[in-house]
């Protein structure tokens, strides 16, 4: 189901955890809320769920104003960060819970409920564990029970709060791929919270980057990565370098050196140049480049990371080079960013 | 000399001894002191109560218990417990629920208030009710004109008992519920459960061992309370005497066998409570620990 969040403000005893947040979630979409700790991701998720009520603003489910609906009436599936499985119930009872507590009129028969729960356990690859108790499961297994339990009620929207937060890196990666598969198979509109950018970029159809209670940018993983629209997003997503530069006559300058990057149409004045370590080309010349001395090199998987001391700008940058390019410390390297962005302060 | 012999004898173990372990001498010494203490202050009095009660044989024991006044005291004690314990079960769960799961103004104050019955002398607790319902109090004349008897009657005894035993259930549950947090409840609500269903299927199972434990302690105190009940009861024989009060009366009349017979029943109740408590702890400690851990 389509979910629209409109001009939401949420205060906790005067402290604004969310400030004028608007977000349209399309039906069947897998959306990631990404941001540093305390940016309001969980709060936004809980507001959609109805576990919190907004100080101002409205949440729409389809065309209906959901603000006046209780959590129960919204029919959502919520997966909590620490799973919140019912520890005194078996895995099967946990998954069946949402159906068994329905009033007699809307409740499927016992056999039906059991069948559906078993199907879901099969979907999350937990067949055969239905008689276990949560305490007898691994973290990854609990996570999947929590997901099956949330999906059992055929929710309008599936909300997951850091679904993989408590798991180790290997399991995270597996579950990530698997969640995408499940989503593609079931087609639930899904919102998940994460502070892991790889997770968000790899998994989501669209990523919502949040900071300090505001949405910084909404876009596909490509848009977010390639055209970040604020210094925050640029710095938060992926690796980035920042250099103080000056715009003059459509050219970028560091002190009195032109760096060979033309910025036509940019107004003159000081600015911050942002570029990614791998978006550079090496040059031989002396003019029209950024030059620095190698301070340190590191081999990271398939690339060589080189830290350069840029004397002119009095700062350090990191660039990525092919591994066959061997550099010695204090040798001089000249380069030019091929893809970059200017932000004014 | 003997000490020297042991150290040489256990020379090898001395070398690997953990820093925190004591010498054998100190260990047995401490255990011995503890055992003596328990024997002197716990076992001996209990044994004395039983032997005193059985002094003239079991026949006499049962005869004195079936004395109408004593029997009435037993009945009254049971009645008071049957009313007070369920009331405090409900109050305790409600108070713990409110304190552990909700944020509101005056929460710290309420938490302190719950401890009040523990921190004031039971006699004062009783006096509070005398001040409240006595003939010179604010409510007294009104109650009298409507023919409602609270002091020196069963309602007063029940009220005093409820007051004194209030903290047991609540105090057992508050830390437990606080540790468990609200996410289980939120999960149930998000799955469509009503408030009542959430309580019944999720909250209650999570707290049941703690609750049982609290009820057990609450019951023991409800049956054994002396001070507060003594102040409000009026000591009317066969009417407003509970078992502890009856023990005192019998004792003051030098009716030792009867006094100790009733005391035996109270002591048995205490033992039964202890046994149940240990059973509970033994059987469910793993689960209690698990439910605290999450
Ligand atoms: N119940 C609450 N009472 C008071 N302040 C709150 C409450 N819940 C959240 N906050 C505050 O609101 C802000 C946003 O919190 P939120 O939990 O949404 O952050 P988050 O983005 O989920 O962070 P994390 O990644 O650490 O989970 C934080 O500053 C937090 O302290
Ligand atoms: Mg959070």
In tens, the pLDDT along B205-231 reads: 999 888 988 999 999 999 999 999 999
Residues of B in contact with A75 (CB under 8 A): 192
What string of pLDDT tens digits covers the 345 residues of chain A?
899 999 999 999 889 999 999 999 999 999 999 999 999 999 999 999 999 999 999 999 988 888 888 999 999 999 998 889 999 999 999 999 999 999 998 899 999 999 999 999 998 889 999 899 999 998 889 989 999 999 999 898 999 999 887 778 888 888 888 888 889 988 899 999 998 888 899 999 999 999 999 999 999 999 999 889 999 999 898 888 998 888 988 888 888 888 888 888 888 889 899 999 999 988 887 778 888 889 888 888 888 899 998 877 778 899 998 888 877 888 888 888 988 888 887
Supply the pLDDT for residue B5: 41
B162-181: average pLDDT: 91
Supply the pLDDT for residue A14: 85
Supply the pLDDT for residue B74: 92
| ipTM of the complex model | 0.83
B130-146: average pLDDT: 84
For residue A43, the ligand closest to its alpha carbon is 1
d(CA A149, CA A154): 10
Number of neighbouring beta carbons within 10 Å of residue B82: 13
Nearest 5 degrees, angle CA A246-CA A248-CA A252? 50
Q: Could you tell me where the DSSP H helices lie in B39-182?
A: 44-53, 57-65, 68-101, 107-119, 122-133, 140-145, 154-180
Supply the pLDDT for residue B286: 62
For residue A213, the ligand closest to its alpha carbon is 1
Supply the pLDDT for residue A212: 93
Evaluate if residue B204 carries a pLDDT over 60: yes
B79-87: average pLDDT: 95
Comparing A256-260, B97-101, B171-175, the range with the smallest average pLDDT is A256-260
Atom of ligand 1 nearest to the CA of B103: 1
Average pLDDT, chain B: 85
Which among B197, B205, B290 is the nearest to A101, CB-wise?
B197
Evaluate if residue B7 carries a pLDDT over 50: no
Mutate to test the interface with A, among B191, B204, B287, B294 (most CBs of A within 10 A): B191
Picking from A83, A80, A98, the residue whose alpha carbon sits closest to that of residue A152 is A98
Please give, rounded to a whole number of angstroms, the shortest distance from the CA of B218 to a CA of chain A.
Answer: 25
Diameter over CA atoms, chain B: 86
**pLDDT-based confidence at B136, cuts 50/70/90?**
confident
B233-237: average pLDDT: 86
- For residue A31, CA distances in Å to A180, B68, B175 come to 11, 77, 38
Ligand 2 centroid, distance to A84 Cα (angstroms): 15
Distance of CA B72 to the CA centre of its chain: 22
Q: Which of A17, A18, A33, A163 to mutate to test the pocket of ligand 1 (most atoms within 8 A of CB)?
A: A17
Supply the pLDDT for residue B193: 93
Please give, rounded to a whole number of angstroms, the shortest distance from the CA of B82 to a CA of chain A.
Answer: 29
Residues of A in contact with B188 (CB under 8 A): 86, 97, 101
> Within an 8 Å CB–CB cutoff, is residue B180 touching chain A?
no
Supply the pLDDT for residue B6: 41
Residue nearest to atom 11 of ligand 1 (CA): A17
> By the 8 A CB rule, do A19 and A45 touch?
no
d(CA A146, CA A155): 14
List the end-to-end C-alpha distance of chain A, in Å, as a whole number.
Answer: 40
Residues of B in contact with A120 (CB under 8 A): none
Which among B186, B192, B290 is the nearest to A87, CB-wise?
B290
Please give, rounded to a whole number of angstroms, the shortest distance from the CA of B84 to a CA of chain A.
Answer: 29
Residues of B in contact with A163 (CB under 8 A): none
Residues with CB under 6 A from ligand 1: A 12, 15, 17, 35, 37-43, 195
């Amino acid at each position: 189901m389509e979910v629209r969040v409109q001009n939401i403000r949420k205060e906790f005893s005067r402290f604004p955890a969310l400030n004028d947040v608007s977000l349209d979630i399309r039906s069947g979409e897998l959306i990631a809320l990404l941001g540093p700790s305390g940016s309001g991701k969980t709060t936004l998720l809980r507001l959609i769920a109805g576990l919190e009520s907004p100080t101002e603003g409205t949440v729409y489910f389809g065309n209906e104003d959901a603000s006046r609906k209780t959590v129960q009436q919204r029919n959502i599936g919520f997966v909590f960060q620490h799973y919140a499985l019912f520890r005194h119930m078996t895995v099967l009872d946990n998954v069946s819970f949402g159906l068994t507590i329905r009033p007699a009129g809307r409740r499927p028969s016992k056999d039906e409920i059991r069948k559906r729960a078993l199907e879901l356990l099969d979907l999350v690859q937990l067949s055969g564990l239905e008689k276990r108790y949560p305490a007898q499961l691994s973290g990854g297994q609990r996570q999947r029970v929590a997901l099956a339990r949330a999906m059992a009620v055929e929710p309008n929207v599936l909300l997951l709060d850091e679904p993989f937060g408590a798991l180790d890196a290997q399991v995270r990666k597996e579950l990530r791929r698997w969640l995408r598969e499940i989503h593609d198979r079931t087609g639930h509109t899904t919102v998940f919270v994460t502070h892991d950018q790889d997770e968000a970029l790899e998994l989501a159809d669209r990523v919502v980057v949040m900071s300090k209670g505001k949405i910084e940018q909404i876009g596909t993983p490509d848009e977010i990565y390639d055209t970040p629209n604020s210094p925050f997003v640029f710095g938060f997503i992926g690796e980035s370098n920042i250099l103080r530069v000056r715009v003059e006559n459509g050219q970028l300058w560091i002190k009195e050196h032109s760096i060979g990057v033309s910025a036509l149409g940019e107004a003159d004045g000081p600015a911050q140049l942002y570029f990614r370590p791998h978006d550079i080309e090496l040059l031989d010349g002396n003019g029209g480049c950024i030059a620095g001395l190698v301070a340190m090199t590191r081999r990271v998987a398939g690339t060589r990371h080189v830290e350069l001391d840029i004397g002119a700008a009095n700062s350090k940058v990191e660039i990525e080079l092919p591994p066959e390019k061997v550099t010695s410390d204090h040798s001089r390297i000249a380069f030019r960013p091929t893809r970059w962005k200017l932000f004014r302060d | 000399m003997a000490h020297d012999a042991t150290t040489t004898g256990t020379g090898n173990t001395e070398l690997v001894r953990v820093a925190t372990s004591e010498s054998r001498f100190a260990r047995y010494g401490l255990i011995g002191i503890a055992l003596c203490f328990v024997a002197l202050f716990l076992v001996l009095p209990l044994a004395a109560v039983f032997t005193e009660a059985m002094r003239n044989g079991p026949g006499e024991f049962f005869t004195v218990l079936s004395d109408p006044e004593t029997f009435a005291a037993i009945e009254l004690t049971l009645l008071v417990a049957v009313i007070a314990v369920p009331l405090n079960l409900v109050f305790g769960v409600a108070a713990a629920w409110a304190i552990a799961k909700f944020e509101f103004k005056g929460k710290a104050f309420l938490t302190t208030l719950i401890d009040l019955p523990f921190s004031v002398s039971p006699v004062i607790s009783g006096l509070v009710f005398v001040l409240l319902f006595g003939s010179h109090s604010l409510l007294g004349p009104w109650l009298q004109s409507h023919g409602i008897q609270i002091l020196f009657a069963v309602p007063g005894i029940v009220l005093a008992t409820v007051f004194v035993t209030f903290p047991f259930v609540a105090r057992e549950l508050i830390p437990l519920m606080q540790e468990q947090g609200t996410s289980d409840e939120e999960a149930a609500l998000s799955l469509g459960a009503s408030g009542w269903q959430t309580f019944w299927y999720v909250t209650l199972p999570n707290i049941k061992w703690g609750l049982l434990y609290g009820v057990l302690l609450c019951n023991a105190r409800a049956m054994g309370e002396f001070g507060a009940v003594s102040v409000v009861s009026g000591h009317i024989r066969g009417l407003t005497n509970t078992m502890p009060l009856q023990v005192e009366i019998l004792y003051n009349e030098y009716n030792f066998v009867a006094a100790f017979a009733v005391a035996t029943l109270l002591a048995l109740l205490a033992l039964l409570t202890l046994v149940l408590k240990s059973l509970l702890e033994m059987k469910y400690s793993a689960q209690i620990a698990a439910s605290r851990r999450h």
